Structures are given as C-alpha cells and as structure tokens.
Amino acid sequence: MKNVLITGSSGFIGYHLSLLYLKKGFRVFGIDDMGDGYDVKLKQWRLKELKKHDNFIFDKIDISLEKKLVNYFLKNFKKIKIETIINLAAGTGVRKSTLHPNSYYQSNLMGVLNLIKLSRKFNIKSFVQASTSSVYGDSKEKSFKINSETSKPDSIYAASKKASEVLLHAYHSLYKQNISILRFFTVYGPCGRPDMAPFIFTQAAINNRLINVFGTGNQKRDFTYIDDIVQGIYKSSKLRGLNYLNLGNNRPVSINNLIKIISQLANKKIKRVHKPSTPEDVFYTSADISKTKRIMKWEPKTNLEKGIFKTYNWHIENNKWLKKIKVS
C-alpha cells in the first residue's frame, strides 16, 4: 500500500484531498493543529468524516514546532515509506494576516522549513507546497502567468507564501528535491471556509442574513471548484524537478455575479451592505493555466454555476449545524 502525508488534513482542501487519496487506495497520514483560524466546528466535522476510513491515520501537530514534528516522523516513518508530502497547513486569509503576522510566518515559513528538511532526511520522493494567487499582488495583467511579477506582495499572507516559495526554490537548487509549488485561485465547494464569499453568501441566502460586500462588488475572482483543485494536486505529486504551477479556472467572475447565481438558486434576493475595500484587497484575479495544461494535462471541469449548485445543495443538507458556524 502506498502512503502519503497530508498536512492541514482537517482543512477545506486537506479534507477533500484526503478523501481522494483514500479513494485511490492510499494510506493517508493526516496532521493538523486544529487551530481556530476559523470556527473549529468545521474542522471537527471534517476530521470525524475522515476517521470513518480505516486507512486514515491522524495526529494533532503544529508543523511550526520542529521537535514535535521530528518525533512524529521518527515514530511513524522509520519503517513505513512515504511517497509524497503535501503541505496544506497554513495560516490562511488575507485580512487576518495583518492582525496576526507572527503566527502566519511561523506556520507559512518555519513550518515549511521543518517539513522540507524532514522530506530530505527521510528521502521522500516528492514535496507539494500550497501557495496562492495572492503572490501576484494587485496585478494589472489580464491573466496571471507563472513568470508574472511576484516580488511585490501587498499582504502579510502573500509575503509569507512568497517567502516559502523562495525557500523551496533554494532547497531544490541545493539538493535537487522534487518540489511542486501550486498557486491556488479562490477555491470553493462543499464544506468550504467560512471566511470565503461562497460560504458566507450561501449561508446568508439560506438563513436570510445580511452580507457585507467590500467595495462595489465588481471586483473579479477566478473561482475554482474543489474537485478540480484536488485532482490537480494529485497529478502534481508525480512531477519531477521544480515546478511552479497555477491551479485556477481561468474564467474570472465578479462578486456581484456570484451573489446573483446564489440568489437564483435560493429564489430570493440577498440583502447586502457595501463597505469600503481594505488595502490588502485586490481587484482582479485570473489564472493563466497554459503551463499546467501542458505539463500535467490538467484543466478545470466545473464551471461556477455547476460548482455553486453542488455547494448550495451541501449547505441545504447540512444547514442544521452549519447555520451555527461563525462566519467572518
């Protein structure tokens, strides 16, 4: 049986990726600090679902704590061979990073350093790192290419992610480790993050809540469905060398149009209040995925209407406990 280590396994992407690997017959070692970056009840629900699988093995660990992480590796991977480390553990959210910059650098940089060192020590075949479209900053390009400017991040979150990319680049240069750095574009889907617009707006539509819209609502995001993202992560784990890749939908949609799609599903108007944009908000994101298509034969299959339909139905089915989740 093949083995994979997924950090941040109780997070949104980590949960869905763990399910994919379990379906493919892998034994999944999952670690997560179960932190309270957002309402922990969501993480607890995901973990409970994952623990229903015999081949899912979980430990509560903070990847920024080197000694504990080393002991975990010595305990589990002296005799068991791990194929891949997929690092999804991170401080997430652009706005929150300005409030807690130290914790973001601990998880998003020191945590990555701890993992890549252990990856080398234990001779693990490939390392996959979750990065973000935020590294492109408030780019004026129509579509963000892998070689677009990334040296001027405009948030603490983006800066911490860019720093981890640079660190991994150095590790590949020095030790020739196989590393894939994936820049995700606005991931959404069932059991998503409660600080993201698709979750907040869907809950508002179902439970008749007011929403805050920052700015005009004309800003555009390259919303990418979770099933497409995890398929891309799985394919990237097979690559060799150092690879920077965008995982996005390449079809940006405005916040106002997202609200319209959800309103039509709910058959009601979502009440909104407009608030000023914050300095770290960017107006536009769009992924150029030409390199990803060429190297991995990957492209997204789910348009926003279909993805929101699936997401909305999941919210309806789980609304009894979801409506108690704190959104931000």
Q: Domain holding 21: CATH number? A: 3.40.50.720
Q: How confident is the model at residue 97 (pLDDT cuts 50, 70, 90)?
A: confident
Task: Report d(CA 271, CA 82) in Å as an integer.
Answer: 49
Domain assignment present for residue 122? The answer is yes
Measured in degrees and rounded to the nearest 5, phi and psi for residue 192 equal -75, -170
Domain assignment present for residue 327? The answer is no
Domain assignment present for residue 96? The answer is yes
Measured in degrees and rounded to the nearest 5, phi and psi for residue 214 equal -85, 125
Domain assignment present for residue 207? The answer is yes
Task: Report d(CA 200, CA 262) in Å as an integer.
Answer: 11
pLDDT score for 142: 83
Is 284 an annotated catalytic residue? no
Whether the per-residue pLDDT at 280 is higher than 80: the answer is: no
pLDDT score for 140: 80
Task: Answer with the residue of higher pLDDT: 92 or 241.
Answer: 241
Whether the per-residue pLDDT at 53 is higher than 90: the answer is: yes
Domain count, the chain: 1
User: What order do you get walking across the sheet with 56-60 strand by strand?
Assistant: 56-60, 27-32, 3-7, 84-87, 126-132, 178-184, 242-247
Whether the per-residue pLDDT at 279 is higher than 90: the answer is: no
Domain assignment present for residue 145? The answer is yes
Domain assignment present for residue 60? The answer is yes
Whether the per-residue pLDDT at 180 is higher than 80: the answer is: yes
Q: How confident is the model at residue 68 (pLDDT cuts 50, 70, 90)?
A: very high
Domain assignment present for residue 199? The answer is yes
Domain assignment present for residue 77? The answer is yes
The reply to whether the predicted model has a pTM over 0.75 is yes
Task: Report d(CA 138, CA 150) in Å as an integer.
Answer: 10
Q: How confident is the model at residue 188 (pLDDT cuts 50, 70, 90)?
A: very high
- Name the catalytic one among 105, 157, 188, 244: 157
> How does the average pLDDT of the chain come out, rounded?
95
What residues make up the domain containing 235?
3-322
Is residue 16 classed as helix, strand or coil in its secondary structure? helix
pLDDT score for 282: 85
Q: What is the mean pLDDT of residues 54-74?
A: 98
Report which of 38, 5, 1, 14 is spatially closest to residue 226, judged by C-alpha positions. 14
Whether the per-residue pLDDT at 95 is higher than 80: the answer is: no
Tens-place pLDDT, residues 104-160: 999 999 999 999 999 999 999 999 999 999 999 988 888 999 999 999 888 999 999
Task: Report d(CA 160, CA 78) in Å as an integer.
Answer: 31
